Amino acid sequence: MANIVYEKSRGLTDTPFTYCPGCSHGTIHKLIAESLVELDVLDKSIAIAPVGCSVLAYEFFNCDAIQAAHGRAPAVATGIKRVEPDKIVFTYQGDGDLASIGTAEIIHAAHRGENFTVIFVNNGIYGMTGGQMAPTTLINQKTSTSPYGRQESTTGKPLLVSEMMAQIPSATYIERVSVHDIRHITQAKKAIKKAFEYQIANKGFSMVEVIADCPVGWNMTPVDARKTIADAMIPYYPLGVYKDAGGEA
């Protein structure tokens, strides 16, 4: 008998991911799936997929899932969670979805203290539409709509979403993590799991911002992209817990 040393999480379907080589989405999906399985809530979970690269996430998570309009996932999650308060509801959103078109929905879901979990993937770019500038694109970063590099004078400074969300009185748990190496992936898993634990314990709104890469959009190799997270993203987006009003889970 062969030893099983590694197994794909039962929290994911067998549908092959549609993500580009080196993209962080796969890793983040895995962390969510593992958390739901470990907490034994997979069968009563409902995932809300955004518009963006992860639009097909409803095909990947092995639980009930629904695809929402661009930016509206927190409103959709609100509708579901309020009529199914005993179920586990989470949104999976990118930076265009959450930090640009969906700012009203995310802020007010937190403002109401909705008891669901938000996984916010910040890779500083619109991936699916071809690498346009996001609110989280770094200064001087070149994208297809900031071809000379993002200029502060006309587009402002990158939006610090976790810092902003932590100011909302009814938000319970806000943490920023990264998935660029094993140590950080382990920490990201802990944060994601904790967010779900808080939801299970009815502690209210939780959001984990995951700093991620987009090798294709950033126009670099996956290895360089991971290095760029450490060298350029994290210095601007410091990792850590921005708010924890939940006590011990």
Partner 1 sequence: MKVLMKGNIALSEAAIQAGCTAFFGYPITPQNEIPEYMSAKMEPAGGVFIQAESEVGAINMVYGAAAAGARTMTTSSSPGMALKQEGISYLCGANLPCVIVNVARCGPGLGGILPGQSDYFQATRGGGNGDYYTPVYAPSTVQECWDLVFHSFDIADKYRTPVMILLDGMLGQMMEPVETKVHPRLNVDKPWATNGNAASRPRNAITSLSLFGEVLEAMNLERFKVYEEIAKKEVMVENTVKDGDTVAIVAYGAPSRIVVNAIDELKEEGINAGLIRPITLWPYPGDIFLNLPSSVNHILVAELSMGQMVEDVRLAVNGKYPVHFYGRTGGVVFEPIEIANKVREILGKPTKEIESKIESKTATQDENLRGGI
Stretch of 77-85, 142-150, 156-164, 203-211 lying at the interface with partner 1 (CB under 8 A)? 77-85
CA angle 40, 177, 69 (to 5 degrees): 70
Block residue for tokens 């962390």: 31
Task: Please report how close the Cβ of residue 38 comes to partner 1 at its closest, in angstroms.
Answer: 17
What is the token pair recorded at 200?
Answer: 């299970």
- List % helix, strand, coil for the chain (3-state, nearest 5): 40, 20, 40
User: Cβ(63)–Cβ(36) under 8 Å?
Assistant: yes
Q: Which residues from 136-195 bind partner 1, rule CB under 8 A?
A: none
Q: Which residues from 103-122 bind partner 1, rule CB under 8 A?
A: 104-105, 107-108, 111-112
From the list 31, 33, 53, 76, which residue makes contact with partner 1 (rule: CB under 8 A)? 76
Nearer CB in complex with partner 1: 112/227: 112
Whole-angstrom Cα distance, residue 187 to residue 189?
5
Contacts of 196 (CB under 8 A, 6+ apart): 35, 36, 39, 41, 88, 90, 117, 206
Picking from 197, 169, 186, the residue whose alpha carbon sits closest to that of residue 239 is 186
- x-marked contacts with partner 1 along 23-42 as a string, rule CB under 8 A: -------------------x
Nearer CB in complex with partner 1: 69/139: 69
Contacts of 175 (CB under 8 A, 6+ apart): 162, 191, 194, 195, 207, 208, 209, 240, 241, 242, 244
Stretch of 22-30, 86-94, 130-138, 206-214 lying at the interface with partner 1 (CB under 8 A)? 86-94
Nearer CB in complex with partner 1: 46/160: 46
Task: Please report how close the Cβ of residue 94 comes to partner 1 at its closest, in angstroms.
Answer: 15
Task: Please report how close the Cβ of residue 67 comes to partner 1 at its closest, in angstroms.
Answer: 4
Nearer CB in complex with partner 1: 112/190: 112
From the list 8, 43, 186, 219, which residue makes contact with partner 1 (rule: CB under 8 A)? 43
From the list 20, 37, 39, 69, which residue makes contact with partner 1 (rule: CB under 8 A)? 69
Nearer CB in complex with partner 1: 52/158: 52
Contacts of 108 (CB under 8 A, 6+ apart): 74
Q: Using alpha carbons, list the distances in angstroms from residue 243 to 163, 169, 205.
A: 9, 10, 11
Q: Which residues bind partner 1 (CB under 8 A)?
A: 42-46, 48-49, 55-56, 58-59, 62-69, 72, 75-84, 87-89, 104-105, 107-108, 111-112
